[in-house]
Amino acid sequence: MKRRVLGKNGLEVSELGLGCMGLTFGYGPAASEADAIALIQKAYDLGVTFFDSAEAYSQGVNEALLGKAVKPFRDKVVIATKFGFKEGDASKGVDSRRERIRAVAEASLKHLNTDVIDLFYQHRVDPNVPIEDVAGTVKDLIQEGKVRHFGMSEAGVLSIRKAHAVLPVTALQSEYSLWWREPEKEILPTLEELGIGFVPFSPLGKGFLTGAINETTKFDPTDFRNTVPRFSEENRKANQAMVNLIKSVADAKNATPAQIALAWLLAQKPWIAPIPGTTKMHRLEENVGAVNIALSKEDIQNIEEAAANIEVVGARYPQHLQNRVGK
């Protein structure tokens, strides 16, 4: 798999990473430890060197799984994790106080069984703590050798600029896909100007763009998509038009919808590294296959023209979570 560089300080990652959240959190029952470790190690065998976790994904359980899985090849991979929620629990609100960031760093190093965190993201901007103080704290951790690079997640342009002035931001992680293109307005131009990499999460629209979900799909009671307006039954039915577009391109390319959705993202900018997540080995292999799909300028243009006629309906977050993004 080819590599991409995030930020100006040379953080090199595989062009596709692996989002590990769903292995323990958010999308229904957790995978077994054995299955999760096998999936992560298979990803590495397929060329993935970029793995994404967070304290908030099961308060250390996700990080511990990842640490155990990559131990045999730790020095050959990039591990990203995140701080920023009270007690590591997103339901309790944000907390990026200096002492909290330092405590999370120490805990994450222990859970991941590593000496250094390659990329340490602020999970959500904390309106109660100046972003300059957050960047300053991470800068101290970098100087102490505990962290290598600083990242932000779902941050707005002003916060990114303020943080970057204190400590170069290596990467921004936010949602971006064919059915959520808001970052194109202000975020992507800002990242390009400042030399910051972009790590799209939910590049497959939380599974919707794979074509495996329709209006009759029933989610596990613990699956957070039950709370997402975009995933209401009527909105899933309306949004099927986007899936149909992607399927038509996939059929012409002898590919799958997921592969086309990922290939489209990879074609946008050379400093974008999406992190699709999955619990299924065959989906992992399918996703990685996207790196072999070449979309021409004509292909991209055709997708753009068709997508412009499709209105995606439904908010991507329930209101209380929407209030935390773009700050």
Number of domains in the chain: 1
The answer to whether residue 57 is catalytic is yes
251-276 pLDDT, tens digit each: 999 999 999 999 999 999 999 999 99
Would you say residue 86 lies in a domain? yes
Q: Identify the pLDDT of residue 28.
A: 83
26-48 pLDDT, tens digit each: 888 889 999 999 999 999 999 99
119-148 pLDDT, tens digit each: 999 999 999 999 999 999 999 999 999 999
Would you say residue 21 lies in a domain? yes
Range of the domain at 46: 3-204+268-292
Domain of 112, CATH number, reads: 3.20.20.100
Would you say residue 310 lies in a domain? no
> What is the average pLDDT value for the chain, to the nearest integer?
95
Question: What's the DSSP call for residue 279?
Answer: S
Residue 45 CA to residue 24 CA, distance in Å, equals 22
Torsions phi, psi for 55 (to 5 deg): -55, -40
Would you say residue 227 lies in a domain? no
Out of 27, 44, 57, 176, pick the active-site residue: 57
186-226 pLDDT, tens digit each: 999 999 999 999 999 999 999 999 999 989 999 999 888 99
**Is the pLDDT confidence value at 183 over 90?**
yes
Q: Identify the pLDDT of residue 52.
A: 98
Residue 288 CA to residue 176 CA, distance in Å, equals 18
In the structure, what pLDDT confidence band is assigned to residue 15 with cuts at 50, 70 and 90?
A: very high
Would you say residue 199 lies in a domain? yes
**Is the pLDDT confidence value at 56 over 90?**
yes
Would you say residue 263 lies in a domain? no
Would you say residue 18 lies in a domain? yes
263-320 pLDDT, tens digit each: 999 999 999 999 999 999 999 999 999 999 999 999 999 999 999 999 998 898 788 7
Residues 198, 91, 278, CA angle at the centre, nearest 5°? 50
Residue 88 CA to residue 104 CA, distance in Å, equals 8
Would you say residue 46 lies in a domain? yes
